[in-house]
């Protein structure tokens, strides 16, 4: 069977700068217009700028003195990498599309490749849905980049299991003892580390947790953090994971109003003496994905609206105490001394984080590679929390299966230092809950 020809759009390279190695023995083609577009992304501190620079370095290192026209081998059992120069816009496109855009130039190159190699399947890989539709309308096969997509998104719902008609004797044992051995637990087969349970039988119930380090199923007790008390089982489980020193990585998913960020921040403040610094960050994805330069004011005025929800959570915690209380004074001192830092995620990229409690909010707007880059910066004594709602993605090239938060949860599930909780029940007003469910 003839090798396929995969043509890559710019957004694929910005999503994963090593994507060229993920097409098995098939050949990979980069349209020269894609290199032009990448050049516009190379300046800046955002992770997308890092991806553009890294891909350029990768290509330069790979090529050396070789010419891309002849094809550069991508490695053992891999195909070759080519750069395709511009081609005239075919008549069929001139009749359909009036503008000479970068996307249309990519389509023109793709059609030229297809006609030049009729016996090989030509596939345009892009994360742009509209470009895929245009390609298909021209008879060109086009697909999303799926190498890091989560195959089973249901993994996000499995952080908490509910079991009815559970053995009453085991429920009583969980209340009377430190825990029960995993061998005595009915659902022991394939049980991942740090799985949470609601176990019920009639009017009896208990919250439980699989502590893989001790080999026990332990009862989860209800504990608050810095003035914030859990209001439901999911919030209780979340605080259990956030306050557990053996769990170094936590993902919290759920719709707006379930308390993800508030719980993470409260847990961080509760443990502030155990960490050198608390960092609360989020990626900036402007409305309609326009650059921040379009917005008026200096940089603080530009980013202010995007960071305000994090300060709102801080305000909720402060409202639990009197203005003159020790807790509020401690919090103000931490902000003043930068022991508590609320910042755009791009401002701390590249730092190695030691002895830090690091919360990444809105993590569904990160790519899998961005999440990996962040986690690999974790130094000794650091705990990382990723929160977000995979149904509220602002980035145009990510979806429920390809975002970094879903990818993290899928890949880390079952690790002893990782815990995941999906929060379902909203704890805002009835109006906010209704809007989240129905609108």
264 and 387 share a domain? yes
Identify the domain containing residue 258 by its residue range.
234-438
244 and 387 share a domain? yes
Section 144-173 average pLDDT? 87
**Band of the pLDDT at 278, cuts 50, 70, 90?**
very high
**Band of the pLDDT at 295, cuts 50, 70, 90?**
very low
Of the listed ranges 154-168, 302-316, 392-406, the one predicted with least confidence: 302-316
CATH number of the domain that 37 lies in? 3.40.50.1010
412 and 268 share a domain? yes
- Asked if the structure places residue 266 within a domain, the reply is yes
CB 38 within 8 A of CB 12: no
CA of 349: how far to CAs of 46, 283, 301, 372, in Å? 8, 11, 21, 12
- Asked if the structure places residue 309 within a domain, the reply is yes
The last residue of one of the domains, among 112, 143, 174, is: 143
109 and 255 share a domain? no
241 and 138 share a domain? no
25 and 127 share a domain? yes
DSSP code of 43?
A: S
- Asked if the structure places residue 197 within a domain, the reply is no
381 and 264 share a domain? yes
C-alpha to C-alpha distance for 392 and 387, rounded to whole angstroms = 12
CATH number of the domain that 282 lies in? 3.40.50.300
- Quote the pLDDT of residue 98: 74
Q: Indicate the average pLDDT of the chain.
A: 88
> Which run of H or of E encompasses 318?
helix 299-318
Query: The tokens 């059609």 sit on which residue?
Result: 111
250 and 101 share a domain? no
Number of domains in the chain: 2
Q: Vertex 282, ends 279 and 287: CA angle to 5°?
A: 160
- Asked if the structure places residue 10 within a domain, the reply is yes
Q: Extract the tokens encoding 384.
A: 């990382």
135 and 268 share a domain? no
- Asked if the structure places residue 429 within a domain, the reply is yes
- Asked if the structure places residue 253 within a domain, the reply is yes
432 and 301 share a domain? yes
The last residue of one of the domains, among 117, 143, 169, is: 143
The last residue of one of the domains, among 143, 162, 185, is: 143
What's the length of the chain? 439
- Quote the pLDDT of residue 284: 78
- Quote the pLDDT of residue 2: 84
pTM: 0.83
- Asked if the structure places residue 264 within a domain, the reply is yes
242 and 114 share a domain? no
pLDDT at 204 over 80: yes
Residue 119, judged by CB atoms within 10 A of its CB (0-12, 13-18, 19+), counts as exposed
């Amino acid at each position: 069977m003839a090798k396929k020809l995969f043509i890559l759009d710019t957004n694929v390279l910005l999503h994963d700068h090593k994507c060229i190695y993920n097409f098995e023995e098939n050949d990979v083609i980069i349209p020269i217009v894609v290199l032009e577009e990448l050049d516009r992304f190379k300046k800046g501190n955002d992770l997308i700028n890092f991806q553009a620079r890294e891909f350029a370095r990768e290509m330069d290192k790979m090529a050396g003195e070789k010419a891309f026209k002849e094809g550069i081998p991508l490695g053992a059992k891999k195909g070759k990498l080519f750069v395709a120069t511009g081609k005239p816009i075919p008549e069929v496109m001139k009749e359909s599309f009036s503008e000479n855009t970068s996307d249309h130039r990519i389509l023109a190159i793709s059609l030229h490749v297809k006609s030049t190699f009729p016996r090989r399947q030509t596939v345009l890989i892009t994360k742009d849905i509209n470009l895929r539709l245009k390609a298909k309308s021209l008879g060109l096969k086009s697909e999303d980049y799926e190498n890091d997509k989560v195959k089973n998104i249901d993994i996000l719902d499995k952080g908490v299991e509910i079991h009815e008609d559970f053995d009453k004797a085991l429920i009583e044992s969980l209340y009377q003892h430190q825990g029960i051995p995993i061998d005595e637990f009915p659902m022991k087969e394939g049980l991942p580390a740090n799985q949470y349970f609601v176990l019920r039988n009639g009017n009896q119930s208990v919250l439980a947790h699989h502590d893989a380090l001790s080999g026990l199923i332990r009862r989860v007790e209800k504990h608050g953090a810095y003035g914030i008390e859990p209001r439901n089982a999911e919030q209780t489980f979340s605080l259990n994971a956030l306050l557990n020193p053996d769990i170094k990585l936590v993902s919290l998913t759920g719709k707006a109003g379930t308390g993800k960020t508030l719980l993470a921040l409260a847990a961080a403040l509760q443990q502030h003496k155990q960490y050198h610094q608390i960092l609360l960050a989020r990626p900036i994805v402007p409305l309609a994905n326009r650059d921040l330069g379009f917005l008026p004011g200096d940089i603080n005025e530009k980013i202010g609206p995007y960071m305000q929800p994090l300060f709102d959570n801080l305000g909720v915690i402060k409202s639990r105490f009197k203005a003159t209380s020790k807790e509020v004074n401690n919090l103000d001192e931490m902000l003043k001394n930068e022991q508590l830092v609320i910042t755009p995620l791009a401002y701390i990229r590249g730092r190695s984080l030691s002895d830090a409690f690091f919360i990444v909010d809105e993590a569904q707007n990160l790519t899998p590679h961005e999440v990996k880059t962040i986690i690999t910066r974790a130094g000794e004594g650091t705990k990382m929390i990723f929160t977000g709602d995979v149904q509220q993605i602002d980035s145009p090239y990510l979806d429920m299966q390809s975002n970094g938060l879903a990818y993290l949860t899928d890949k880390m599930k079952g690790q002893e230092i990782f815990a995941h909780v999906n929060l379902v029940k909203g704890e805002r007003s009835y109006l906010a809950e209704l809007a989240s469910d129905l609108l």
